[in-house]
Amino acid sequence: MAEAPIIELTNIVKSFGPVSVLKGVNLRAYPGKVTALVGDNGAGKSTLIKGLAGVQPYDSGEVRFAGEAVHLHSPREASRLGIEVVYQDLALCDNLDIVQNMFLGREELGFGTFDEGLMEREAAETLRQLSVRTVSSVRQKVSSLSGGQRQTVAIARSVLKKAKVVVLDEPTAALGVAQTEQVLELVGRLAEQGVAVILISHNLADVFAVADYISVLYLGQMVASVKAEDTNRDDIVGYITGSKTYNGVQA
């Protein structure tokens, strides 16, 4: 392994009352690489991600960020480190425009009032770096955007402040074929910029299209972490459903 992981979870445990959801999970994500996190419903993907976002802290286990042990106990802490999550239901404000959405909660001020010019330039620059071509004006209201464009804005929002780790929760779930294609391209470009992308998806075609690594959660345990090029669809389906066991070295 040439590069050190930017984020490394070791032996993560989380339970809700008597129900233990994560039973000692390990996960790594590398800068510039897409790590797909797959698993059936109830496998613990969301719980793992919520801990990473600082929304629901883990019960125990070690989180290393760029080699340093950290505690992710609040969303603010996670975003201070540069960990951003793009949720499945996007969480954009329909009535606000693209710039307002990208800067919501962290507006640039000059003399106490908005620095609209700066925000517009930064928003446009971020979209340009992601080679987004589908929106015409950064002052468009989000309500006028398509599903793919919204996903684009949500992703752009996550990298606006130089995020190091971006978690995408089912980014293509609600999209048509062409828009899925666009978003997957965007995921690739995100990684090209050195961001560690963690992609949660049920769609294995999407996963194999963009992922460098694939980690499979099964009933709260990470049953396989493999390089995408060293595996195939049937094996992954086997790991997800528990009908196959991975015997190789965890990548």
Partner 1 sequence: MTQTQTPPGAVTFDSSEPSATRRVVTSTAFMIAIVVTVLILLFGVLSPNGVFLSAGNFRNLALDSAQLILLAVGMTFLVGAGELDLSIGANVILSSVVAAKVITFVGGTPEEILAGDYSNAATAILLGFLAAVVTGVLFGIVNAALVNMLRVSSFIVTLAMMSAGSGIAYIVTGGINVSSLPREMQKGFGSADLFGIIPIPAVIAVVIGLVAWFAMTKLRFGVHTLGMGSSLRAAERAGINIRRQRVKLFVIMGGIAGLVGFIDISRFLTTNIQGHQGDALAAIAAVVIGGTSLFGGRASILGSMIAAIIPAILINGLVIMRVGSFYQLVVTGVILLIAVGIDQRRRAQSK
Q: Which is nearer to partner 1, 71 or 128 (CB)?
A: 128
Residue 175: C-alpha distances to residues 128, 146, 180, 181 (Å): 22, 9, 6, 9
CA–CA gap between residue 207 and residue 233 (Å, rounded): 10
Q: Which is nearer to partner 1, 113 or 247 (CB)?
A: 113
Q: Which is nearer to partner 1, 140 or 221 (CB)?
A: 140
Q: Which is nearer to partner 1, 80 or 233 (CB)?
A: 80
Q: Minimum Å distance from CB 62 to partner 1?
A: 26
Q: State the sign of the Cα–Cα–Cα–Cα dihedral 120, 91, 129, 148.
A: negative
Q: Minimum Å distance from CB 128 to partner 1?
A: 5
Are the beta carbons of 132 and 156 closer than 8 angstroms?
Answer: yes
Binding site for partner 1 (CB under 8 A): 75-76, 79, 87, 89-96, 99-101, 104-107, 109, 112-114, 120-121, 123-124, 127-128, 131-133, 135-139, 143-144
Q: Which residues pair with 214 in a beta bridge?
A: 36, 226
Q: Minimum Å distance from CB 105 to partner 1?
A: 4
Q: How far is it between the farthest Cα atoms of the chain?
A: 62
Q: Minimum Å distance from CB 30 to partner 1?
A: 26
